[in-house]
Chain A
Amino acid sequence: MPIEIQLPRLGWSMEEGKFLDWLKKDGDFIQEGEPLFTLESDKAAQEIESIDAGILHIPSNGPKPGDLVQVGQVLGYLLSQGESAPGLSPQRAPADPQACGLDPSAEGKSQRVDVSQSTEATLPRATAGHPASPRARRAAKQHGVDLSTLSPSGQGGRIRECDVLAAADSTSSGGMKSVPLTPLRSSIAARLMHSRQTTVPVTINGRCDATELLALRRRLKSKSSSDQQSIGVIPTINDILVLLTATALRQHPMLAARWAGDHLLLPESIHIGIAVDTEAGLLVPVIRGVDTATLTQVATQSQRLIAEARAGKLAAVDMHGACFTLSNLGSLGVEAFTPVINPPESAILGIGAIVREAVPLDDGSFVARDRLTLSLTFDHRVNDGAAAARFLLTLRQLIEQPFQGLM
């Protein structure tokens, strides 16, 4: 019997995922455990391994790369030699054994069970909600309105064209076009709303001298280019700041604490999240064990994570476990901002642009220095303002004398 390849549920709350692509071709023989396709759920792209063996049949009307697919929906089949594939109906109705012409043999029974299991996950969304008139369905398509979000005004609960047009008017008045949410955008929105609703954020800013920081970075760069043997990575300003932050957190561990209702949790080792801007949206991969890592180790980890994040291949495990996050908008010219805490963490550091400024000396003369602003948002439930300020002072001092901080 053909084995159905279904979209797996990767987390208990996962309802749908974006099918990215097959990793095998139609007709390939698939061993159990071989990677079969890639799937984007929540935030991460993941390779999904085959749980059975067989010849892969990819139906022509199956999901296309980028399609949103319901958990449990059949993507394709694994066939044994000489077996033909069943047709794949885009929306499968509950199986009527007589209509299907199945005889009540053992084989027929087991097939019925398969079918009903697969439809269980796909049907509720297809039949849930209210019926819509053909005209309303056409209007919904034209205006990009999701029919499942509408309240019907027709007798007997039918969605009519006027319901669609009203919704289109309210969401897109003035010729706006509706863009469907990606799972990542939905996930970011949910997490940020959660943060806004469950923390007491306060942001403080502090300026510091970054002249020595830039000098260090120049030195690392020239050392790398002069050292022909070295094929190692060149740490970025951000990598240095990650490491210095870990040093400051060692001195002020409460800034890495988590709120746990009636107590606080302190991490045993310092994992730091770095906010990465990707085409799909914001991702926060986690650099592990920064408190015991060398600068090169931090740089190596961060470069890999950033590359995977931008390629949409970040594994779910790479986005968990941080106790603190760094968000750098300096490269885009932002000097100071109010970053939003990434729960369950309790603080986040925003890094502004490094700006060359005239700094007055005691003798009244001026000297040119590179300066940057740090914006620390902390959860006031966990830390008071002074404690946060003390952490920020430590960090500023470390940045002003980075060679010392890296010792």
Chain B
Amino acid sequence: MLTIRMVEERLAKSHQRGLIHGACHTYVGQEAIATGVCAHLHNADAIFSTHRGHGHALAKGMEPGQLMAELFGRETGCSRGRGGSMHLFAPEIGMMGTSGIVGPCILQAAGAGYSSLILKSGQVGVAFFGDGAANNGAFHEGLNMASIWKLPVLFVCENNQFATEVPFASVAGNSSVAARGAAYGLSSIEVDGNDVLAVEAAAGEAVTRARDGGGPTLIECTTYRTRAHAEGMGDFTYRTREDVEQWRARCPIARLKKHLLEHGLASDAQLDSIEQEVAALTEAAHEFAEKSAYPTAESATSHVYAVSANAPHRDAPSTSSATREITFMKATLEALTEEMARNPKIFVMGEGIGVRGGNFATTSGLFAVHGAARLRDTPICERGFVGLAGGAAMTGTRPVVDFMFADFVLDSVGEIVNQIAKMQYMSSGRLKMPVLLRGCIGIGHAAATHHSGSYYSMYAHFPGLRVVVPSSPRDAKGLLKTALTCDDPVLFLEHRELMSVKGPVPEEEYFIDFGKAAVVREGSDVTVVALALMVHKTLAACETLAAEGISVELIDPRTVAPLDVDTLLRSVAKTGRLLIVDEDFAHCGISAEIAAQLADRGFDDLDAPIRRLNGKPSPTPYSPTLEAAVVPNVEAIANAIRSLHAE
């Protein structure tokens, strides 16, 4: 507690001196909670924290120098200068990260609990969060899931009574956080958060329950921060000096000292000597941080993706390899079946993917082999189980999230983009994020607008994600095998209209690398780039055009992130003409990206303007006549190629 206090006060001074480049949220006044909880944790136990996380990092065992250096933006900082105050990472001691977003830590801690379940490791996941997070959907979804599956998790709510500067009482229908736990069937307890012994006792009981398979506990610790929300901010627009002074008087450190002296557990001299020791430690940490070097600019984009030291050789099978005709869906099921048998860390989550075997039979037969823990039917809480999957990946398992339709997962975009995609980078490459997110895209069968979107362009925009859009059973199997063995988060998007398409799939085991486009058909007059179902429609157009003497080269990038621009450039160098056929919208989409890359790098090869044929910019309509009008069809593709050929 004293270390936290002295380090925070030193940081407050450093902030004033300009040593801290960004925000600085101190933990002064709340030290008892991190200290009391972490007293029961080992390095293998994973904690997840909030924007006010310095105390959690220190209590979990982080060197004060590493914390200060991170806030000073130095290479020796715990996140190597990539995080700052709100993004502290030290996975080697179970400090799995603080977050600038309120709520995700609750889901990630549930994910750590799920890893513990799969790995049978006995490790506990702990989420520290404030009263603000207790009003967030993540709280409700996370508590519910942890309760259903009896996950070994502690949900520690530090109720300091203000969500930033909004009083909790003014935004809570029921101002007891602990009472909410009961609604989800959790053991819940409310303790004095400024009494380290009370916290320590409650946490001890909760950790024991978790380790013993008794499931999660919600601990509401009532407390108060006695410094401003962030250093440098005004503090008395929403509370009074008197309020703050009252709580200062209830300082957890002073209370512990008093207790120790009263019970003869320590002498004044001993306590003084501890204070001197901590003061010296703090000064040394400050000196270390201030003397540390800044990271080099060249390293600014390293760790966005995982570097696999010994990536398996992923040569696609030779064309001579024996094949059989199976459906796209069967091909992906083969990939998942093979990898689940090989890797016990893989588990699947989704709605109806357990006994039922998935809406599209994506997990058919696997429940009987691997059981409920590895084929987990979830509540309908996409944000919740995607966030949980992120936490599971951070703690050593390989979750596969089967979200049926890509439209559904938009509820969890914050977890994907803000957490899963950024985690490897924020942790300077020390965390791996092998999360596979799979589901259906594409227009067809009058599914209308909530079961038909193509979202790959949006995901491809964000650094840190791999985005796969296969068009054939053969590619789907090889790419899913790669996705299930790759350390980066992967969006695996399967066009609904392709699920029952049959094609040759090699008998032998094989992988297909990301970022390698397939030349589906060779030609000399026009290059067409197409994805998923558009590959098949373009192929049909190619036959008509061949009879007219127009030779089309059809290229399927297969993955839109990474995008194989080199293969496209080689083709355009040959044909001089490029058409991009994409079911997704034109505006800011992958077709725009491909056009821009080719215009830039292939300018002198172009004999005509780059053309695009996209889906109409409209939500998908229901009526078949309307639905057909918003998607490129074979005739439209053929006409676009004819027009470009004449251009």
Which residues of chain A have a CB within 8 Å of any CB of chain B?
133-138, 154-156, 158, 160-162
Give the docked Cα–Cα distance between A373 and B646 (Å).
Answer: 62
A134 touches B605 (CB 8 A): yes
Q: Write out the residue numbers on chain A whose beta carbons fall within 8 Å of the beta carbon of B576.
A: 133, 135, 160-161
Q: Write out the residue numbers on chain B whose beta carbons fall within 8 Å of the beta carbon of A137.
A: 604
Give the docked Cα–Cα distance between A161 and B607 (Å).
Answer: 6
CB nearest neighbor in B for A136? B607
CB nearest neighbor in B for A161? B607
Give the docked Cα–Cα distance between A155 and B605 (Å).
Answer: 18
Question: Within B559-617, which residues are at the interface with A (CB < 8 Å)?
Answer: 576, 603-608
B646 touches A134 (CB 8 A): no
Give the docked Cα–Cα distance between A138 and B573 (Å).
Answer: 12
Q: Write out the residue numbers on chain B whose beta carbons fall within 8 Å of the beta carbon of A136.
A: 607
B interface, size bucket: 10 to 19
A134 touches B647 (CB 8 A): no
Q: Write out the residue numbers on chain A whose beta carbons fall within 8 Å of the beta carbon of B643.
A: 155
Tell me the minimal C-beta distance from B574 to chain A in angstroms: 11
CB nearest neighbor in A for B643? A155
A154 touches B608 (CB 8 A): yes
Give the docked Cα–Cα distance between A158 and B576 (Å).
Answer: 14
B646 touches A135 (CB 8 A): no
CB nearest neighbor in B for A141? B604
Give the docked Cα–Cα distance between A239 and B606 (Å).
Answer: 61
A155 touches B603 (CB 8 A): no
Question: Within B128-154, which residues are at the interface with A (CB < 8 Å)?
Answer: none
Can you list 10 A-B pairs, Cβ within 8 angstroms, ordered by A?
A133-B576, A133-B607, A134-B606, A134-B607, A135-B576, A135-B604, A135-B606, A136-B607, A161-B576, A161-B607
B646 in complex: contacting residue of A133, A138, A155, A161, CB < 8 Å: A155
Give the docked Cα–Cα distance between A208 and B565 (Å).
Answer: 79
Tell me the minimal C-beta distance from A151 to chain B in angstroms: 15
Known A-B contacts A133-B576, A135-B576; A158 and B608 likewise in contact (beta carbons under 8 Å): yes
B647 touches A135 (CB 8 A): no
Q: Write out the residue numbers on chain B whose beta carbons fall within 8 Å of the beta carbon of A133.
A: 576, 606-608
Q: Write out the residue numbers on chain A whose beta carbons fall within 8 Å of the beta carbon of B646.
A: 154-155
Q: Write out the residue numbers on chain A whose beta carbons fall within 8 Å of the beta carbon of B604.
A: 134-135, 137-138
- A133, A136, A155 interface centre (most CB from chain B within 10 Å): A133
Tell me the minimal C-beta distance from A147 to chain B in angstroms: 13
Give the docked Cα–Cα distance between A136 and B647 (Å).
Answer: 13
B606 touches A158 (CB 8 A): no
Give the docked Cα–Cα distance between A306 and B605 (Å).
Answer: 50
CB nearest neighbor in B for A133? B607
Taken residue by residue from 58 to 100, chain B's Cβ proximity to chain A (1 for < 8 Å, 0 otherwise) reads as 0000000000000000000000000000000000000000000
- 5 A-B pairs with the lowest CB-CB distances in the bound complex, closest first: A135-B607, A133-B607, A161-B607, A135-B576, A138-B604
Give the docked Cα–Cα distance between A270 and B160 (Å).
Answer: 117
Tell me the minimal C-beta distance from A52 to chain B in angstroms: 42
In the complex, besides A135-B576, A137-B604, A155-B643, 16 extra interface pairs with C-beta distance below 8 angstroms are A133-B608, A134-B605, A134-B606, A134-B607, A135-B605, A135-B606, A135-B607, A154-B608, A154-B646, A155-B647, A158-B647, A160-B576, A160-B647, A161-B576, A161-B607, A162-B607
Give the docked Cα–Cα distance between A162 and B603 (Å).
Answer: 17
CB nearest neighbor in B for A135? B607
Give the docked Cα–Cα distance between A134 and B601 (Å).
Answer: 12
Tell me the minimal C-beta distance from A380 to chain B in angstroms: 54
